[in-house]
Amino acid sequence: MRYVPRELESQILRAARGFPAVVLTGPRRAGKTCLLKHLLPRASYHLLEDPDAVARFRADPQGFLDGLRLPVILDEIQHVPELLAFVRARIDRAPQRKGLWFLTGSQESGLMRGVTESMAGRAAVLQLWPMSCRETPKASLRLGGYPEALARPRDASLWFSSYLQTYLERDVRALAAVHDLAVFRRFLGLVASRHGQILNRSDLAAPLGMSVPGVSRWLEILEATAQVLLVPPYFENLGKRLIKSPKLYVADAGLACHLLGIETQPELERSPFLGALFEGFVASEIVKAQLNAGRRRELYYFRDQQGLEVDFVVPWRGGGLRLIEAKASRTVTPSMAGPMRRLAEAWSRKAGAHGGIEMIVVHRPARTGTASQALAPGVRAVTFPDFVAKEIF
């Protein structure tokens, strides 16, 4: 499969010049190993899912590390988290030597606990998600961004089925004592059916006959392995009673479509989930752009108990805000700008508010004709391709 350059490359190389170690997290099959091998063709490589490698390390940790040729890529480090303490000791012997240890992991929560405890100040931590639309035109609302699904779109359904099976067997069993994987598979389907909705754990627990803490633990697994994106509410003192639960999205649009049984473009166009899927697709592209630039994830939504809702709120330049509405429609109307304008008015009246407000309606492009930019006073309509190419930052 031909290598596709990733936007995160420059951040990894920059981190390697400033830190002894680089930790790259992200979901399975997002391209972490391929990216590191491309950037570091002379680095040695060891997969820590290999039983032989794990056995050799646990039998003789120092001997295993002595046998490594630096720089080294240690893949799926979460399987032997105790290795981090030994790496830290070696880094501390020669802290001036940079870019020698490159560690990957697919389970962010457990891995990050180990990094925080053992590698604080010694490692740069970056996150790679599946391919974005800025990285390849093949990424789409129906196929998502996983490289292997994009490389063979006709076999995408089979690939997603295999991915779910592998994910269930490996990561889920590794992270929690899930005794009935069939129930967990039903749970994934329920999560997909709530794509784009405000998270209600009781609503997920009841059909499965589970407790709310049990469902919360399973959601933590999905979030730890970057399978779902939880968008928190934007909290500011706007004189309104605000909804405090996050919005729930399946992180990859292709996986969401697969879980919903959508396998063709006509099925997607007819689906009642089209609007929610497009909204999640916009959310994932914003997050990918932030992560690929080495920035922290800053994406929120706004909704109050009176029903005022704006899809996305992003902190913007000079302490301002960017308000974004995502509409799957190919035709935009001024009424789509109403919620953003009402929120902007409330923001401008808030004591201590500073910085400007930018308002955008992101929509799918019409097949013919020219899209209008000016939608309402202070609000622009931007097609999704233009938003991805020019407007995310």
Cα–Cα distance, 306 to 319 (Å, whole number): 26
Please measure the distance between the N-terminal and C-terminal CA atoms of the chain and give it in whole angstroms: 30
* Residues 191, 193, 197: CA angle, nearest 5 degrees: 80
User: Of 1-10, 77-86, 342-351, which range is least confident?
Assistant: 342-351
Q: Given this model, what pLDDT does residue 317 score?
A: 76
Closest CA to 190 of 219, 211, 166, 149: 219
Name the band, by pLDDT with cuts 50, 70 and 90, for residue 352: low
Which pLDDT does position 347 carry in this prediction?
Answer: 80
Average pLDDT rounded to a whole number, residues 272-278:
98
Domains of the chain: 9-127 (3.40.50.300), 147-231+246-279 (1.10.10), 300-391 (3.40.1350)
Antiparallel, parallel or unpaired: β 321-327 and 309-315 = antiparallel
Confidence band (pLDDT; 50, 70, 90) for 240? low
Whether the predicted pLDDT of 34 surpasses 80: yes
Region of residue 92 (phi > 0: left; psi between -120 and 50: alpha; otherwise: beta): alpha
Residue 297 neighbours by CB distance under 10 Å:
13
Q: What is the largest CA-CA distance in the chain?
A: 68
* pTM over cut 0.85: yes
* pLDDT 10s digits, 195-223: 999 999 999 999 999 999 999 989 988 98
For residue 319, the model assigns a pLDDT of: 77
Percent of the chain with pLDDT over 70: 92
Once rounded to an integer, what is the mean pLDDT over residues 25-47? 95
Q: Which residue has the higher pLDDT, 208 or 236?
A: 208
**Residue 297 banded pLDDT, cuts 50, 70, 90:** very high
Pairing assessment for the beta strands 123-127 and 21-25 based on DSSP bridges: parallel
User: Is the model's pLDDT at 369 over the cut of 90?
Assistant: no
Which tokens hold the place of 298?
């800053």
